[in-house]
């Protein structure tokens, strides 16, 4: 999962893979669904009333034609054709490791949130007023002088508790507490809708324990430089914290995490829903994964009331428990100390902040400069009280007509999906009936939740940045764990309104579109309908298709994980999916020799893109009601739709960031998403006159046809 630069509330979630978080984000449109990575948009100006910051429109009818490079043949490089001049003339901001359409809107959202947060009056947060609490969170983080003067005092009791651990049971207790504060565990706990009983919350456990993310980073020889630098970083952090023998302990920690990596499932295995639902009682865990004090861990985590837990990577658990049992106590202490300091670093004095940035952002992702303090402060406040800010955000930035137009778009795309299902030649009637029933059961959330989160139980103290982070994490964990075994809140959202993203939840069988994504380049009420269908229509289609991708198809219309496919239809589907995966794995990245897209890991997203643009085209043509599409500046309706799709995926990468995306991300890079699915859409070839001699040509018989 992605790492934010701050906010312990987010840091606590890093070890928890979907669908563990209670506010399950399901299958997101963009990997940033795991972060609140918002940035300033310098191009955005103040609104006419001075109270709002307006979104920037693209071109006269929705396409930035100045950003195109029409000297490039569409069949040679469609990303370059639609986005070439933009790519040539757009620098990646110094505080970014990548930049593109999503980032522009995150710039805008962050600028808007900053204006809101800085407008909140300074008042005693003990009053219980949400604005006073948010203001205290933000201003406390912004007070660098106070943080410097306090120094490492907030760390001391946490590190003292680790030093005082007399045995491994005490380490397991610290691991359990890490769910609601600083620290880490070999096992990540989370609460979410039960995949077999979606009306109830259940406890999930997954593999964890790696500071570098994916197991490949430890086991693949080409990542030796990353491992060497990681070991130096561990030593640096332990040294800053005053931990004894930092260099020696760093070597031991890397060796320990390498053993953990060897026990971990691969990312492809970890997303296979047929294999990742494995209920076990505490007694069964103690029997099947001996060597780890499960009872101590459960009690410390506050989940000992759970009747059982669903294990995601179940065969990894005995191995991880054995590694824990065989590890040296001092090594485990140093490991826990390092991860505590690593997570807390953004809230500590500058020496810690700089060290964390130099490794996590600059070295691993190639980001030249640290983000400005206010940007990190906005993220800190949002991670603690995102929906409180969202209430004010939507009053300024989500007009009622946007929701109405989105309702109409979704309805039309949904009907296009129905038409596709009814017309599929490869699907038999038994499976088709179930698929149509699932489509009928699709839920829809647009803009913001009907019921807002209650933050009255969150204690915010002015000036106590470290304590506020811990209390926010504890507040979230207490909220989640108290719901184990209880009825699911069907109205809950997995994202705040100001988040630039969208998602599909398999357990709720619903698609969700926060307010912040419903702006150019994704959605512009004044733009040409073809562009909107290619952009937000493709996004809507993408999220609908997640209910029918290689993993989403395993749940039915009620969100229940069960096999509703005939064997013959499943075989046909899997054959087409394998062809699609092979297409994506064939793409090369010359700047990163040997790096490829993992077709199995990105499969759901790639299927979502292909199906999304396909049903968006169907929906657009249906919207014309038999009338010919107008031609605008020489571009046909179909051309504008495909251009709208490609414009959404404008993306620039620093090499190190692209490497991290290919290793740890679940989505194909944006510049690939701009054209890769279109190579399987016959209408794209017709629209741009693409022929056999063009580099992007795929023979009709080799084109993937799923949805």
- Comparing CA positions, the residue from 221, 218, 242, 244 lying closest to residue 231 is 218
Q: What is the pLDDT of residue 12?
A: 29
- Report the 10 Å Cβ neighbour count for 700: 10
Q: Is 60 exceeded by the pLDDT of residue 16?
A: no
Q: 330: Cβ–Cβ under 8 A, 6 or more apart, which residues?
A: 249
Q: What is the pLDDT of residues 168-218, one digit of tens each?
A: 999 999 999 999 999 999 999 999 999 999 999 999 999 999 999 999 999
Q: What is the pLDDT of residues 642-682, one digit of tens each?
A: 999 999 999 999 999 999 999 999 999 999 999 999 999 99
Q: Which residues pair with 204 in a beta bridge?
A: 190, 310
Per-residue pLDDT, averaged over 68-74, amounts to: 98
Q: What is the pLDDT of residue 52?
A: 83
Backbone dihedral angles phi then psi of residue 99, each to the nearest 5 degrees? -155, 145
Q: What is the pLDDT of residue 30?
A: 79
Distance from the Cα of residue 653 to its chain's centroid: 17
Q: What is the pLDDT of residues 531-555, one digit of tens each?
A: 999 999 999 999 999 999 999 999 9
For the chain, the average pLDDT equals 92
Q: Is 80 exceeded by the pLDDT of residue 18?
A: no
Q: Which two tokens stand for residue 581?
A: 């995966």
Q: Is 60 exceeded by the pLDDT of residue 287?
A: yes
Q: What is the pLDDT of residue 605?
A: 96
H or E stretch at 364: helix 364-365
Q: What's the pLDDT band for 406 if we cut at 50, 70, 90? A: confident
Q: What's the pLDDT band for 24 if we cut at 50, 70, 90? A: low
Q: What's the pLDDT band for 238 if we cut at 50, 70, 90? A: very high
Q: What's the pLDDT band for 13 if we cut at 50, 70, 90? A: very low
CB 687 within 8 A of CB 623: no
Q: Is 80 exceeded by the pLDDT of residue 44?
A: no
Q: Give CA–CA dist 365/14, Å, rounded.
A: 17
Q: What is the pLDDT of residues 93-113, one digit of tens each?
A: 999 999 999 999 999 999 999
Q: What is the pLDDT of residues 462-515, one digit of tens each?
A: 999 999 999 999 999 999 999 999 999 999 999 999 999 999 999 999 999 999
Q: Is 60 exceeded by the pLDDT of residue 597?
A: yes
Q: Is 70 exceeded by the pLDDT of residue 158?
A: yes
Q: 107: Cβ–Cβ under 8 A, 6 or more apart, which residues?
A: 38, 39, 40, 41, 42, 44
Distances in whole angstroms, Cα of residue 362 to Cα of each of 112, 118, 238: 27, 29, 20
- Report the 10 Å Cβ neighbour count for 255: 14
Q: Give CA–CA dist 646/637, Å, rounded.
A: 14
Per DSSP, the residues of 292-355 read S-HHHHHHHHT-TT-S-EEESSTTHHHHHHHHHHHS-HHHHHHHHHHHHHHHHGGGS-HHHHHH
Q: Give CA–CA dist 94/362, Å, rounded.
A: 10
Least confident range of 13-27, 92-106, 314-328, 462-476: 13-27
Tell me which residue has tokens 């699911």.
488
H or E stretch at 279: strand 278-280
Q: What is the pLDDT of residue 263?
A: 98
Q: What's the pLDDT band for 45 if we cut at 50, 70, 90? A: very low
Q: What is the pLDDT of residue 400?
A: 83
Per-residue pLDDT, averaged over 630-651, amounts to: 97
Per-residue pLDDT, averaged over 419-432, amounts to: 95
Q: What's the pLDDT band for 31 if we cut at 50, 70, 90? A: confident
Q: Is 90 exceeded by the pLDDT of residue 6?
A: no
Q: Give CA–CA dist 697/700, Å, rounded.
A: 9
pTM: 0.91
Q: What is the pLDDT of residue 526?
A: 87
Backbone dihedral angles phi then psi of residue 534, each to the nearest 5 degrees? -70, -30
């Amino acid at each position: 999962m992605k790492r934010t630069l701050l906010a312990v509330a987010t840091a606590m979630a890093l070890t928890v893979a979907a669908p563990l978080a209670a506010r399950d984000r399901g299958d997101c449109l963009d990997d940033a669904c795991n972060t609140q990575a918002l940035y300033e948009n310098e191009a955005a100006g103040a609104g006419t009333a001075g109270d709002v910051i307006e979104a920037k429109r693209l071109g006269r009818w929705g396409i930035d034609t100045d950003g195109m490079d029409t000297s490039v043949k569409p069949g040679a490089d469609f990303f370059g054709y639609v986005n070439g001049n933009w790519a040539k003339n757009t620098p990646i901001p110094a505080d970014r490791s990548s930049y593109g359409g999503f980032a522009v809107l995150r710039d805008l959202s962050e600028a808007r949130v900053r204006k809101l947060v800085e407008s909140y009056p300074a008042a005693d947060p003990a009053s219980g007023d949400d604005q006073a609490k948010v203001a205290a969170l933000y201003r406390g983080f912004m007070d660098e002088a106070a943080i410097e003067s306090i120094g490492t005092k907030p760390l001391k009791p946490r590190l003292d508790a680790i030093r005082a651990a007399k045995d491994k049971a005490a380490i397991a207790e610290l691991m359990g507490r890490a769910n609601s504060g600083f620290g880490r565990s070999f096992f990540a706990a989370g609460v979410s809708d039960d995949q077999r009983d979606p009306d109830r919350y259940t406890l999930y456990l997954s593999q964890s324990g790696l500071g570098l993310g994916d197991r490949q980073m430890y086991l693949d020889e080409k990542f030796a430089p990353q491992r060497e630098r990681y070991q130096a970083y561990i030593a640096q952090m332990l040294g800053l914290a005053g931990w004894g023998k930092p260099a020696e302990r760093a070597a031991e920690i890397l060796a320990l995490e390498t053993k953990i990596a060897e026990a971990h499932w691969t990312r492809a295995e970890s997303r296979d829903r047929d294999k990742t639902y494995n209920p076990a009682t505490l007694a069964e865990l103690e029997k099947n994964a001996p060597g780890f004090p499960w009872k101590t861990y459960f009690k410390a985590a506050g989940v000992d009331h759970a009747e059982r837990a669903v294990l995601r990577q179940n065969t990894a658990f005995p191995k991880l428990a054995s590694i824990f049992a065989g590890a040296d106590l001092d090594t485990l202490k140093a490991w826990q100390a390092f991860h505590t300091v690593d997570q807390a670093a953004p809230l500590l004095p500058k020496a810690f902040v700089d060290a964390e940035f130099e490794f996590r952002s600059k070295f691993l992702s190639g980001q030249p400069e640290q983000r400005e303090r206010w940007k990190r402060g906005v993220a800190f406040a949002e991670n603690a009280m995102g929906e409180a800010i969202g209430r004010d955000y939507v009053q300024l930035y989500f007009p009622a007509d946007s929701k109405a137009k989105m309702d109409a778009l979704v309805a039309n795309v949904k009907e296009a999906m129905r038409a596709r299902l009814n017309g599929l030649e490869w699907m038999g009637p038994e499976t088709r009936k179930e698929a149509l029933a699932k489509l009928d059961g699709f839920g829809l959330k647009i803009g913001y939740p009907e019921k807002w989160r209650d933050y009255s139980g969150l204690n915010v103290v002015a000036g106590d940045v470290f304590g506020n982070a811990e209390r926010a994490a504890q507040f979230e964990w207490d909220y989640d764990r108290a719901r184990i075994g209880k009825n699911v809140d069907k109205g809950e959202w997995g994202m705040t309104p100001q988040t630039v993203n969208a998602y599909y939840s398999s357990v709720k069988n619903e698609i969700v579109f926060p307010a912040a994504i419903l702006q150019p380049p994704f959605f512009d009420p004044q733009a040409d309908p073809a562009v909107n269908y290619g952009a937000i229509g493709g996004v809507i289609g993408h999220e609908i298709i997640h209910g029918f991708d290689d993993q989403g198809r395993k749940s039915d219309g009620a969100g229940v994980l069960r096999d509703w496919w005939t064997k013959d239809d499943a075989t046909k589907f899997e054959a087409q999916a394998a062809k699609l995966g092979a297409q994506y794995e064939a793409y090369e990245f010359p700047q990163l020799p040997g790096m490829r897209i993992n077709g199995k890991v990105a499969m759901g997203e790639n299927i979502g893109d292909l199906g999304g643009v396909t049903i968006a085209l169907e929906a657009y043509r249906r919207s014309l009601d038999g009338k010919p599409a107008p031609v605008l500046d020489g571009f046909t309706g179909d051309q504008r739709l495909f251009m709208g799709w490609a414009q959404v995926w404008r993306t620039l990468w620093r090499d190190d960031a692209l490497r991290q995306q290919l290793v740890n991300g679940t989505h194909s890079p944006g510049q690939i998403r701009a054209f890769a699915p279109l190579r399987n859409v016959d209408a794209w070839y017709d629209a741009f006159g693409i022929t056999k001699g063009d580099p992007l040509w795929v023979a009709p018989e080799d084109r993937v046809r799923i949805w």
